Amino acid sequence: MSELLLQLEGVHTHIGQYHILQGVDLAVPKGGITVLLGRNGAGKTTTLRTIMGLWHASRGSVRFAGDDITHSPTPDIACAGIAYVPESMGIFSDLTVRENLFLAARGVKSADQMDEARLEWIFGFFGALKKFWNQPAGTLSGGQKQMVAIARAIVEPRKLLLIDEPTKGLAPAIIQGMIAAFRELKQTETILLVEQNFSFVSALGDTVAVMDGGRIVHSGSMAELTEDRDLQHKLLGLSLDTNQ
């Protein structure tokens, strides 16, 4: 088994009076895409937010690159090398595409100092960003905003990308394009991808974990899950049928 980059052990998260994560055990190997699947309300987004420190685990531990980050503040977790693309995309709509990326480039003091080679690499996936470079991000379409959100996460090298439902609300044609982009990205990045769209992630994922009721109920290789229709139905049920 390849080296583990992220490891959650027995993680519980409470939001107010609600006990959302009820002992999550999750391992993300270095390199490639680990997919976190599950129905609505299974706890996928809460898992990402707990890793990111936006909600804190009440029990259990989160280890990243060998360090315990369970109780670290969000900025420290980000600086440790984790980038987060939330379900809402978190775009700063009042700022231009350039300014959105500039803020994510923590190592530079002016937008002109951003790594041009890296930007060209990003434009290779998301060419539209070059065109909309000086447009306020709020004026872009949903697909273009998603490009900004992902580009912001990779504008500087990060050890791990947490991406929450990138295909939500996007047109099928754009989703196909995004599959191609993720295929390129996974050559160099480690990604923990939350999705409900099985057809999207089955084409991309290397490993998979399935959540239900705030716990991981299955983990293994994506190839194994893709081939086993009975297991898919058992684990994902109706949500899978509707997405295929």
Residue 109 binds another protein (CB under 8 A): yes
Give the angle subtended at the CA of 94 by the CAs of 56 and 161, to the nearest 5°: 40
Residue 65 binds another protein (CB under 8 A): no
Report yes or no: 145 and 137 within 8 Å, Cβ to Cβ.
Answer: yes
Q: How far apart are CA 31 and CA 206, in angstroms?
A: 9
Residue 223 binds another protein (CB under 8 A): no
Residue 15 binds another protein (CB under 8 A): no
- Rounded to 10 deg, the angle between the 142-154 and 116-125 helix axes is 140
Count Cβ atoms below 10 Å from residue 56 Cβ, excluding itself: 15
Element spanning 122, H or E: helix 116-125
Would strands 190-195 and 160-164 be described as parallel, antiparallel, or unpaired?
parallel
Q: How far is the CB of 75 from another protein (least distance, A)?
A: 5
Report yes or no: 37 and 201 within 8 Å, Cβ to Cβ.
Answer: yes
Binding mask 158-197 for another protein (x = CB under 8 A): -------------x-xx-xxx-xx-xx-------------
Q: How far apart are CA 107 and CA 86, in angstroms?
A: 22
Report yes or no: 156 and 107 within 8 Å, Cβ to Cβ.
Answer: yes
Site for another protein in 89-108 (CB under 8 A): 90, 92-95, 99, 102-104, 106
**Single-letter amino acid code for the residue at 58:** S
Residue 52 binds another protein (CB under 8 A): yes
Q: How far is the CB of 94 from another protein (least distance, A)?
A: 6
Query: By rule CB under 8 A, what count of residues binds another protein?
Result: 52
Q: How far is the CB of 224 from another protein (least distance, A)?
A: 27
Residue 242 binds another protein (CB under 8 A): no
Residue 74 binds another protein (CB under 8 A): yes
Binding residues (CB under 8 A) for another protein: these are 52, 54, 73-75, 78-79, 84, 86, 88, 90, 92-95, 99, 102-104, 106, 109-110, 123-132, 135-136, 138-141, 143-144, 147, 152, 171, 173-174, 176-178, 180-181, 183-184
